Structure 1
């Protein structure tokens, strides 16, 4: 399939991260013919963390990224959602599935959802609740200032399978995140819609120190829908530690979506 007919891959980063954190993955996606687009949202390093929320992140991604790509640029989209990005992408894509929009007379839509250790929240559930109602010790609350949080030690928690020589480079990619994004209820998720049957994929990270695999399993089971699950023996950031393998898996997922 020519690159012109491939969907745009929108990369929705996890909390504390930015699209630049995927720089090691993008060349492999580009080589495979995919255009990528950043899917950032306002609760990462906000000017006023008291005004941040999960619904605000969801609305921002939908209104400022997805709808312009679909309606103005005429592109199909595949979402890659990492960690908390799963909450944001899930809500933002609701009602935008390719089949749903086709029935409404629209020519473009969201072709599929790829969660890379993505957080799965139900309608009205916050991420804080989804992880058990308590922050793990590596989430440093009200740091560097009130209403924000950091992950420390980032190398041990997020990059445990990455080259330690990259530590200073990786530290620069981490940003403070608004706690209210984790504590406010999420809106209804797109993955619950039947229009995404056969169009949900999940990369389960088996050596994850941030979102352990048992949590990932709980989320998948809780969703009550079918996901195509592929295991990676990596930590929380396979797009840093195994970018080529992850890009190849993403391409396989997209091929499957496009064949339906």
Structure 2
């Protein structure tokens, strides 16, 4: 593997990035550098009104890696794809090479994440309606998950489910209404991981985003027989897919 590659992990809503640890440990065992992003909108003391702080945090961590000359593969889960696309603008390797700089984002890996076009928010992209498993507070500032064991972890064992559910935190609901202004997947190589048992973003919706929203941009695909949380239930398969996205022939 290439020691100049950093894998940056961005979690979805409600999640601590430590959820990726089974994959992180496998990548570090074959000498990849890894970084994890804690999203400010997850469990804040005061809820945010947009995704700007998430974008800024992801961008800071990408910049730190690329300024050290690293090639960066950004792995995004669920909601995490939205602020990550924004954060990548101007930090892809092609743009930086044109400026005479080394390092840059080389690949964007969607782990059952949302692929959203410019001008849309997560909510508007799906007709302006909340997903059926959202539980939104009356003041529209906080959102939680109904039945996360069934929505996120339907192929995990009881111990995994208990630990994962206990780790979830309230999320800033208004971040779901932030409008995307940059689609990094139009500008850098990208991979979408289809998760066949995903109860949060059903396979039909995953395919609609890849074959509809991203049509014509050459997004690659991988498939795993997993729930919305393959980093817990199928870490070997997810690790291999990420290594292929990083350029390995495995």
Counterparts of 1:203-242 in structure 2, within 5 Å, are 203-220=193-210, 221-224=212-215, 225-242=217-234
Is the 8 Å Cα contact of residues 9 and 37 (structure 1) preserved in structure 2? yes
CA contact (8 A) 1:123 1:188 kept: yes
For 1:137 and 1:98, locate their aligned partners in 2 and report how far apart those are by CA, in whole Å: 39
Matching of residue 148 in structure 1 with residue 145 in structure 2: no
1:250 alignment counterpart: 242
Tell me the residue number matched to 1:159. 153
Determine the structure 2 residue equivalent to 1:115: 110
CA contact 1:46–1:52 (8 Å) conserved in 2: no
C-alpha distance in 1 between matches for 2:20 and 2:103: 25
Match of 1:25 in 2: 23
* Distance change (3 Å), C-alpha of 1:150 and 1:238: same
Aligned CA RMSD, in angstroms, stands at 1.8
Q: Distance in 2 between matches of 1:113 and 1:30?
A: 19
Q: TM-score by structure 2 length?
A: 0.93
Gaps of 5+ in 2: none
- Regions of 4+ moved over 6 Å: none
In 2, distance between residues paired with 1:67 and 1:52? 24
- 1:95-149 superposed Cα distances (whole Å, 9 cap, x missing partner): 2211221111001111111110111111121101123321233211118x85111
The equivalent residue for 2:190 is: 200
CA distance in 2, matches of 1:219, 1:141: 25
Choose the corresponding residue for 2:122, options 104, 124, 127: 127
Matched, 1:43 2:33: no
Which residues of 2 match residues 58-207 of structure 1 at below 5 A?
A: 58-62=55-59, 64-71=60-67, 73-142=68-137, 147-193=141-187, 196=188, 199-207=189-197
Return the alpha-carbon distance in structure 2 between the equivalents of residues 167 and 118 of structure 1. 20
Q: TM-score, normalised by structure 1?
A: 0.89
Is the 2:13–2:80 contact (alpha carbons within 8 Å) kept by the matching residues of 1? yes
Structure-2 separation of matches of 1:131 and 1:42? 24
Deviates more, 1:130-139 or 1:208-217: 130-139
In the TM superposition, residue 91 of structure 1 has moved relative to its aligned partner by 1.2
Aligned length: 247
